[in-house]
Amino acid sequence: MKVLITGFEPFGGEDVNPSWAAARLVAATPPAGLDVTAVRLSCVYGRATEELRAAVSATDPALVVCAGQAGGRSGLSVERVAVNVDDARLPDNAGNQPVDEPIVPDGPVAYLSRLPVKACVAAARAAGVPAHVSGTAGNFLCNHVFYGLAHLIATERPALRGGFVHVPYAPEQVTDRFEPSMSVADIARGLGAIVAAAASTTDDLRVPEGATH
């Protein structure tokens, strides 16, 4: 099975983005039976979804797992829903800062992930990596790409399955602040387990993973 995994370039003054570092590791040592290609996306509104579309066209995958950094989270967050709004707390790497703008004009309000989110969480935990189902992908570039992927699937590639995973800071990003972090090796191990679970599972687990907020 062909799999596309993506991560982002650094943003917000950081020198590293653990989502890309981990995506590269997964592609270098992919789960058995999977042909994994890693692509780095720009932290720029619009450009990132264009790069994702080009990568999907070039690799023709059966599965897409996009990853992005979510500073402050303590484990991998398998995202359940993408919403059709950009509301940037800080500018992207090109200085764009959209506020309350639709990602796709006249597009659906939201899309649910095409990943078996609870099975993916269970697989990451079984690999020894903290993980949970998340009900919000935020309103920055991660949600932007997640929604763009979901819209591409809904309108052009109905056989494609895909979704989004947030990852914590890497340790070197938090040496001067009190924030949770996770090594890139552990992030990659969790992402690899998620990719393997998504590739082999179509019917999700029916277990409680909802949050109160």
Active site residues: 79, 142, 166
CB burial of 31-41 (b: ≥16 within 10 Å; e: otherwise) equals beebebbbbbb
CB 133 within 8 A of CB 121: yes
Instruction: Note the residue count of the chain.
Output: 213
Distance of alpha carbon 61 from alpha carbon 16, whole angstroms: 27
Spatial CA neighbour of 80 closest among 116, 54, 104, 106: 116
| Identity of residue 176 | D
Residue with tokens 């932007």: 144
Contact between residue 121 and residue 190 where contact means Cβ atoms under 8 Å apart: no
